[in-house]
Structure 1
Amino acid sequence: VKALHALGAAVIAVSRTNTDLVSLSEQCPGVEPVCVDLGDWEATERALGSLGPVDLLVNNAGVALLQPFLEVTKEACDTSFNVNLRAVIQVSQIVARGLIARGAPGSIVNISSQASQRAITNHSVYCSTKGAMDMLTKAMALELGPHKIRVNAVNPTVVMTLMGQANWSNPQKAKTMLDRIPLGKFAEVENVVDAILFLLSDRSGMTTGSTVPVDGGFLAT
């Protein structure tokens, strides 16, 4: 949001946490905040159904509920798939229908993960949602391509957001992941943002249905 705002885009920011939206609006005057839980289909339809016109979409909302496989709960499955996958379908439908109605081209970027292609302990549900997102990205690209709407995914490694720092601050835990990354470091937020901006822009005009790793080489090992 901050990068797009800095580039002069008119940005609609969606979050379920109103305090984050208030803080964002103070940092980025002009950003339109929308507070809704994307895991709630009916509330999302009410909140986003009349927004627009929208030309570019970044599906960035996600949850990571970590449990050993034998302890995975129904609630973790439902919440994870509702937010990480179903919301991507719903919000993308809303935006794509608007683009098609206007006859306008567009670009959608889904934020996936290296966990879509590599199993990680205690991440069975999370890995499953991201694996499904990669295939959803390809299926969307196939069907929306004739309407000049491109759809791609970005697949980061651990990113040093507040959540990333909280989950990977243990040096011993971090070492097990870093040892598998040829560049020997986790991603910074800017690394992911740059990939997103490329895929949103006309500079990637011939790229659709792709999954772009921002992983320091993790998927190469």
Structure 2
Amino acid sequence: MTDSNASDPAAGPGFPVELPRPPSFRLEGRTALVTGASSGIGLGCAVALADAGAKVVLAARRQSRLEALVATFRGRGWAAEALALDIADVEATARAVTQYGPFDVLVNSAGLARHGPAVDTATADFDAVMGLNLRGAYFLTQAVARGLIAAGKPGSLITVSSQMGHVGGIDRAVYCASKFAVEGFTKAMAIEWGGYGIRVNTLCPTFIRTPLTEPTFKDPERVRWIEEKIKLGRVGEVPDVMGSVVYLASDAAALVTGTALMVDGGWTAD
């Protein structure tokens, strides 16, 4: 009688079993640029990357705030630097990326929201949101990719997008337009730069309690709308995005590119 398990190395004692090695979530030896790092989601991402071992360059417009944060980071034994930067200024941003890069990881969390009915959208508000959320994000990602390509290095480029890059929302036509566009350029860039080992993805949170979203939470009607849409029954907090950004930045996501990681409590599952 033939033993059907004879060729199976896991079938019995004496047979060595080779197990797959799990990828690392650690980021030692990598430098990460985090924009919008002075507060909210951006600060949470910077903390998560630093805790995972990356050297983090915290970038935002408020230099004094950044310097205080860097001192706190260093007090915890984390490698950190401050960089005053307004990504809406595309030319200045490109110069800064060239000077301080190349960056192995980019997390762009700089963003702007000016909500209101679409019939009332002012051109100034439209231009301000698109100038930061779309134009600034596009050319920042381009600048970091250029540095990596010139250095012959792989990398992970992440834009903090939104669930509103996948669905519509009340009083959010301009914001949705900017984030839908971010999702589009992310896919195209991922196709173009995959051959260089550069991964390009978005992180798409639901409503996270931050200074940016606080006005929304003061409106009872909007709060009811949010609570009805989030299937897990609670509003997001900054720690909810911290593990996700480490995943996308690390080798654990080595085959993940051109996609959106939803951190939305099930909002877009409908």
Is the 8 Å Cα contact of residues 203 and 262 (structure 2) preserved in structure 1? yes
Code of the residue aligned with 1:125 in structure 2: it is V
CA distance change for structure 1 residues 104 and 47 in 2, over 3 Å: closer, same or farther? Answer: closer
Residues of 2 paired with 1:4 and 1:119: CA distance? 31
2:71 match: 26
- The answer to whether residue 39 in structure 2 is matched with residue 39 in structure 1 is no
Runs of at least 5 residues in structure 1 that lack an aligned partner in the other structure: none
Residues of 1 paired with 2:252 and 2:148: CA distance? 20
2:53 match: 8
Give every structure 1 segment of 4 or more consecutive aligned residues whose post-TM-superposition deviation is greater than 4 Å. none
Query: Of 204, 213, 236, which residue of structure 2 is paired with 1:187?
Result: 236
2:102 match: 53
Query: Of 52, 58, 63, which residue of structure 1 is paired with 2:112?
Result: 63
1:104: how far off?
1.0
Residues of 2 paired with 1:200 and 1:45: CA distance? 21
1:97 match: 146
Higher helix share: 1
Query: Of 212, 222, 236, which residue of structure 2 is paired with 1:163?
Result: 212
CA distances 1:102-135 after superposition (whole Å, capped 9, x unpaired): 2111111111101112211211110000000111
Is the 8 Å Cα contact of residues 160 and 202 (structure 2) preserved in structure 1? yes
Among the aligned pairs, what percent are the same residue?
37
- The answer to whether residue 194 in structure 2 is matched with residue 145 in structure 1 is yes
Is the 8 Å Cα contact of residues 182 and 217 (structure 1) preserved in structure 2? yes
Code of the residue aligned with 2:62 in structure 1: it is T
The number of residue pairs the alignment matches comes to 221
Code of the residue aligned with 1:20 in structure 2: it is R
SS in 2 for 1:92: helix
Which range is displaced more, 102-111 or 38-47? Answer: 38-47
Code of the residue aligned with 1:85 in structure 2: it is L
Is the 8 Å Cα contact of residues 114 and 156 (structure 1) preserved in structure 2? yes
Residues of 2 paired with 1:49 and 1:206: CA distance? 27
The two structures, once aligned, show a CA RMSD in angstroms of: 1.4
Runs of at least 5 residues in structure 2 that lack an aligned partner in the other structure: 1-45
| CA radius of gyration, larger in | 2
Is the 8 Å Cα contact of residues 209 and 235 (structure 2) preserved in structure 1? yes
2:135 match: 86
CA distances 1:176-197 after superposition (whole Å, capped 9, x unpaired): 1111111111111111121111
